[in-house]
Amino acid sequence: MSLFPVFIKLEGRPVLLVGAGSVGESKVSALLASRADVTVVAPRATASIAKWSAEKKLRWVAREFRPEDLDGMTLVIAAVPAEVAARIHDEAHARGILCNSVDDPDRCDFYYGAVVNRGDLQIAISTNGHSPALAQRLRQELERQFGPEYAEWVALLGSARQEMFAAAMDPEVRRERLHQLAGAKAFQEFALGNASPEAASKGKVYLVGAGPGDPELLTLKALRILGQADAVLHDDLLTPDILELIPASARVECVGKRHGERQITQDEINRRLRTYAVAGETVVRLKGGDGTIFGRASEEMDALRSAGIPFTIIPGVTAASGAAAAAGISLTDRRLGSALVFLTAQRCKGNPPPNWKAVAALGGTAAIYMPGGHEADLAQQLMEAGLPADTPCIVVAKATQADEQVIEVTLSGLRDMTTPPAPALLLIGVVQSDPARLEQARENTGKRSTFY
Ligand code: SAH
């Protein structure tokens, strides 16, 4: 026997609840939300039910159940011990009233489904009593999939639909438009702050930071957008664990510098972003760390802006934060200094080198990106600029990844260090200069840290 699924309009209809303990109370709120005319019959009631009665949200009759309580009722819920529930069920049945005897499936004409409530969007789940546990799990999964923002989204869709029906419109065009408005892309636009479901159907680019490698360091937003991507263009820094999160339906292109035989130029990446977006695709430009830190994001944004293509930046956890976490240090420490600077050892042709004197005088931490192969040079420059030879440094390779390495050295030790596996980041500065760490750094020069 299969159940007949319905959503009933109970507004103003008389509904009887027998029993006002905690189980009864748990059955009442959904009835009140649907504006049913609720009568509760029970000698005693929970504080909440008594309060709702005092507030006239329901009527509480403080005595035992009598068969005539059923007169005129649309539904009855028996939240009482089994023998009493059986009697109520039989009386209700004789009168043709549907009855729910809590916890007694054989005496239920209807069930309370597990429900995902998002305003006017309701998703109800039933297993016909076979597995309430499964129903709960499905509810939780659906709640994650359809977040609270769906309440507003559904309301918006409702008003857009009303407007379309009010306007003279070809029914076929209207039907098509309504489907488009309810589509995944339109929702995505809405969820990212563009409240108009109309602005939906064009392609768009998301510049997404994927964090330093651990897939759990992806933001929820990044994960959600990845799930909606038609095309994903990623660089070399992306770990296989993160790439696995891209749905099979998306086209994945590695555009990293080290990929394949042919080097893909920045111009070519910009061209692909534009072409795919103009074709109406949802394009994710996926970068390691935070895309706006040493990630050429501004060149891509310029290219998109000049083509009139909308884009959204989704920030990520930058490598310096990942490295600090791996090394167990804070990037700033007000007791030791007041600055944190992100630097790179690489630079565009024609750009001046960093002002090493300023870095040496910083009184804080310098996080040096892309130090690979330049360690000795960097150490030399910083010492010449005035940093003491035993300034503690931490090199973190593959931060937040399974094979991460944390190496503590002094600045002079850095000169003799073999280049660690890529990607690696170099942290230099006062924050790490407590005496115990310094001692360890001296001992450890060139070796894996034994701090943790
Ligand atoms: N946009 C990235 C940085 C890109 S530049 C971010 O915000 O993190 C590339 C450099 O980042 C690498 O050479 C290395 O210095 C650093 N890096 C990226 N991921 C790293 C990781 N997991 N561990 C250590 N360094 C990393």
**224 burial class (0-12, 13-18, 19+ CB within 10 angstroms)?**
middle
Q: Which domain holds residue 54?
A: 14-112
Stretch 253-266: mean pLDDT: 76
Q: What angle, 0 to 180 degrees and rounded to 10, lies between the N-to-C axes of helices 171-181 and 149-166?
A: 170
Query: Is 214 known to be catalytic?
Result: no
Stretch 396-411: mean pLDDT: 92
Of these residues, 69, 214, 235, 333, which one is catalytic?
A: 235
Find the 435 Cα to ligand 1 centroid distance in Å. 28
**Cα of 272 vs its chain's centroid, Å:** 27
Whether the pLDDT of residue 201 is over 50: the answer is no
Ligand 1 pocket member 256 (CB < 6 A)? no
Stretch 160-183: mean pLDDT: 82
**CATH number for 278:** 3.40.1010.10
Considering the domain architecture, whether residues 355 and 312 belong to the same structural domain is answered as no
Considering the domain architecture, whether residues 213 and 174 belong to the same structural domain is answered as no
Confidence of residue 199 (pLDDT cuts 50, 70, 90): very low
Stretch 288-306: mean pLDDT: 94
Confidence of residue 93 (pLDDT cuts 50, 70, 90): very high
Considering the domain architecture, whether residues 299 and 331 belong to the same structural domain is answered as no
Q: Is residue 42, in this structure, part of any structural domain at all?
A: yes
Q: Which of the listed ranges 54-68, 116-130, 422-436 does the model predict with the highest average pLDDT? A: 54-68
Whether the pLDDT of residue 171 is over 70: the answer is yes
Chosen domain end from 283, 317, 351: 317
Stretch 97-117: mean pLDDT: 90
Considering the domain architecture, whether residues 284 and 384 belong to the same structural domain is answered as no
Whether the pLDDT of residue 198 is over 60: the answer is no
Q: Which two tokens stand for residue 34?
A: 């649907």
CA-nearest residue, atom 9 of ligand 1: 370
Stretch 256-285: mean pLDDT: 82
Given this model, what pLDDT does residue 442 score? 59
Considering the domain architecture, whether residues 73 and 92 belong to the same structural domain is answered as yes
Considering the domain architecture, whether residues 412 and 385 belong to the same structural domain is answered as yes
Whether the pLDDT of residue 299 is over 50: the answer is yes
User: Between 390 and 314, where is the model more confident?
Assistant: 314
Stretch 92-116: mean pLDDT: 91
Measured in degrees and rounded to the nearest 5, phi and psi for residue 369 equal -85, 155
Given this model, what pLDDT does residue 262 score? 64
Given this model, what pLDDT does residue 440 score? 62
- Choice from 235, 425, 426, 427 to test ligand 1 binding pocket (greatest atom count within 8 A of CB): 425
- Choice from 216, 287, 369, 401 to test ligand 1 binding pocket (greatest atom count within 8 A of CB): 369
Stretch 171-199: mean pLDDT: 74
Q: Is residue 263, in this structure, part of any structural domain at all?
A: yes
Q: Is residue 2, in this structure, part of any structural domain at all?
A: no
% of the chain beyond a pLDDT of 90: 58
Considering the domain architecture, whether residues 311 and 328 belong to the same structural domain is answered as no
Q: Which two tokens stand for residue 253?
A: 């292109």
Confidence of residue 430 (pLDDT cuts 50, 70, 90): low
Confidence of residue 441 (pLDDT cuts 50, 70, 90): low
Confidence of residue 9 (pLDDT cuts 50, 70, 90): very high
Nearest to 192 by CA among 108, 314, 306: 314
Q: Which of the listed ranges 128-132, 206-210, 402-406, 448-452 does the model predict with the highest average pLDDT? A: 206-210
**Cα of 209 vs its chain's centroid, Å:** 13
Number of domains in the chain: 4
Measured in degrees and rounded to the nearest 5, phi and psi for residue 324 equal -60, -40
Stretch 424-451: mean pLDDT: 63
**269 burial class (0-12, 13-18, 19+ CB within 10 angstroms)?**
buried
Stretch 396-423: mean pLDDT: 91
On the CB side of 390, CA atoms within 13 Å amount to 11
- Choice from 236, 287, 294, 318 to test ligand 1 binding pocket (greatest atom count within 8 A of CB): 294
Please tell me the pTM assigned to this model: 0.59
Considering the domain architecture, whether residues 88 and 42 belong to the same structural domain is answered as yes
Cα(159)–Cα(443) distance, integer angstroms = 69
Find the 210 Cα to ligand 1 centroid distance in Å. 11
Chosen domain end from 97, 112, 127: 112
**291 burial class (0-12, 13-18, 19+ CB within 10 angstroms)?**
buried
**78 burial class (0-12, 13-18, 19+ CB within 10 angstroms)?**
buried
Q: Which two tokens stand for residue 222?
A: 């990044």
Ligand 1 pocket member 294 (CB < 6 A)? yes
Q: Which two tokens stand for residue 435?
A: 């005496």
Instruction: Write the pLDDT tens digit of every residue in 18-58.
Output: 999 999 999 998 899 999 999 999 999 999 999 999 999 99
Whether the pLDDT of residue 449 is over 80: the answer is no
Considering the domain architecture, whether residues 301 and 353 belong to the same structural domain is answered as no
- Check whether the bond before 423 is cis (ω within 30° of 0): yes
Given this model, what pLDDT does residue 448 score? 45
% of the chain beyond a pLDDT of 70: 91
Taking CA 186 as the corner, what is the angle to CA 210 and CA 146, rounded to the nearest 5 degrees? 70
Q: Is residue 308, in this structure, part of any structural domain at all?
A: yes
Cα(200)–Cα(172) distance, integer angstroms = 19
Q: Which two tokens stand for residue 442?
A: 């001296």
Query: Is 235 known to be catalytic?
Result: yes
**159 burial class (0-12, 13-18, 19+ CB within 10 angstroms)?**
exposed
Stretch 276-295: mean pLDDT: 92
Considering the domain architecture, whether residues 222 and 256 belong to the same structural domain is answered as yes
Considering the domain architecture, whether residues 234 and 305 belong to the same structural domain is answered as yes
Given this model, what pLDDT does residue 423 score? 95
Measured in degrees and rounded to the nearest 5, phi and psi for residue 139 equal -60, -45
User: Strand 121-125 relative to strand 75-78: parallel, antiparallel, unpaired?
Assistant: unpaired
Given this model, what pLDDT does residue 318 score? 98
Q: Is residue 3, in this structure, part of any structural domain at all?
A: no
Given this model, what pLDDT does residue 259 score? 46
Chain mean pLDDT for the chain: 88
Confidence of residue 348 (pLDDT cuts 50, 70, 90): confident
**Cα of 183 vs its chain's centroid, Å:** 20
Q: Which two tokens stand for residue 116?
A: 């995902």
Considering the domain architecture, whether residues 297 and 329 belong to the same structural domain is answered as no
Stretch 373-390: mean pLDDT: 91
Of these residues, 9, 51, 57, 257, which one is catalytic?
A: 257
User: Between 257 and 173, where is the model more confident?
Assistant: 173
Q: Which amino acid is at 126?
A: S
**CATH number for 420:** 3.30.950.10
Q: Which amino acid is at 113?
A: G
Cα(197)–Cα(190) distance, integer angstroms = 6
**CATH number for 53:** 3.40.50.720
Given this model, what pLDDT does residue 269 score? 94
Q: Is residue 183, in this structure, part of any structural domain at all?
A: yes
Mapped onto helix, strand or coil, the DSSP state of residue 270 is helix
Whether the pLDDT of residue 61 is over 60: the answer is yes
Ligand 1 pocket member 197 (CB < 6 A)? no
Q: Is residue 214, in this structure, part of any structural domain at all?
A: yes
Chosen domain end from 274, 292, 317: 317
Measured in degrees and rounded to the nearest 5, phi and psi for residue 185 equal -70, -40
Q: Is residue 240, in this structure, part of any structural domain at all?
A: yes
Ligand 1 pocket member 53 (CB < 6 A)? no
Find the 369 Cα to ligand 1 centroid distance in Å. 6
Beta strands in 107-260 (DSSP E): 114-118, 121-125, 204-209, 231-234, 251-254
Find the 278 Cα to ligand 1 centroid distance in Å. 31
Given this model, what pLDDT does residue 261 score? 54
From edge to edge, which strands make up the β-sheet containing 251-254?
Answer: 251-254, 231-234, 282-287, 204-209, 311-314
